[in-house]
Amino acid sequence: MTVVFAEVVVTDIVRTALLMACLVAAQAATAKEPAAPRPASFAEHERQCRGKEGWSDPAPPVRIFANVYDVGTCGIVALLVTGPKGHVLIDAATAEAVPSIARNITRLGFRLRDVKLLLSSHEHLDHAGGLSAVQRLTRATMVATAASRAVLESGAPAADDPQKGGLPRFAGVRVGRIVRDGEVVTLGPLRLTAHTTPGHSPGGTSWTWQSCAQRVCRAMVYADSLSAISAEGYRFSDHPAYVAAFRATLAKVARLPCDIIVTPHPTASDLYARLAGTEPLVNRGGCAAYAAAAGTKLDQRLAAEARQLSVR
């Protein structure tokens, strides 16, 4: 992981502010009712992202299903869920990626000012680093769980985050609403349910909702990262309560109503292969398989820690 110090984050925010100001001016000059969405083809996305999977590598916007679009980067999902009363953006990659995310939203034909709510998966730089800049651009309300609020607002990693020693800070975002596990966030007809899913981070959150294309409706899941990774020197086996919460998260994700799963890192759920048509987009066992694979890796991590302890 490349460490980005606080000073560098601030510099990136200043640099992107100039680019975003141009976007705002362009939208103000051409303000009108949005036309039909204009997503890129996946072939265009594939061409632009070939050989790239960086957190900030610009990618064109693609439709996942119905009113759900990936407006993020080649390596990080930023999920736009659109509705007649406004739109919801889940995650915003890095501060450096925000101008690309903003361009993607406008390319689709949506107005930045119509993004009304910001949600997050987990409170790390590669997913939350751009939220502050997006909030300034859209004036959207940040919605978060109590467990993630302090980190989202400060940009400083939580003391109990397994990755704390290797996490860079990011510019904090103002949280305007706290949600509980199972609480529904509404915006017009949009209804997204929050599921607290700690493990990869203490404030991890997954989101579920239903999206419909004409008469075909799908249970959508934005499942948080579930990888058991840490900073050097951290041992999961030294934190049994955290591991128990992690296992509860895996069981919860496996039980979610799940037709189409999307994850913050697209490769974790084979999103690009599914958008390309080489794997099924709809897979009702996708969440269970995702959780099972993460559980296997957690078991392997704990076994490796036990072996290291035994040879000391």
pLDDT by residue (tens digit) across 82-102? 999 999 999 999 999 999 999
Q: Which two tokens stand for residue 104?
A: 């993607």
The one catalytic residue in 114, 234, 239, 242 is 234
239 is catalytic: no
Question: Percentage of the chain with pLDDT > 90?
Answer: 87
Q: Which two tokens stand for residue 103?
A: 């361009």
- Tens digit of each residue's pLDDT (9 = 90 or more) over 157-208: 999 999 999 999 999 999 999 999 999 999 999 999 999 999 999 999 999 9
The one catalytic residue in 69, 195, 200, 259 is 200
126 is catalytic: yes
The one catalytic residue in 181, 239, 242, 265 is 265
> What residue segments make up the domains of the chain, in order of their start?
6-29+56-310
The one catalytic residue in 122, 222, 224, 272 is 122
Q: How far apart are CA 264 and CA 70, in angstroms?
A: 10
Task: For residue 19, name the pLDDT band (cuts at 50, 70, 90).
Answer: low
CA angle in degrees (0–180, nearest 5) for 275-91-249: 85
The one catalytic residue in 70, 126, 259, 270 is 126
Q: How far apart are CA 81 and CA 20, in angstroms?
A: 21
195 is catalytic: no
- Tens digit of each residue's pLDDT (9 = 90 or more) over 269-309: 999 999 999 999 999 999 999 999 999 999 999 999 999 88
pTM, full prediction? 0.89
Whether 221 contacts 258, CB under 8 Å: yes
242 is catalytic: no
87 is catalytic: no
The one catalytic residue in 45, 87, 127, 195 is 127
CATH number, domain 6-29+56-310 = 3.60.15.10
The one catalytic residue in 12, 45, 91, 124 is 124
Task: For residue 310, name the pLDDT band (cuts at 50, 70, 90).
Answer: confident
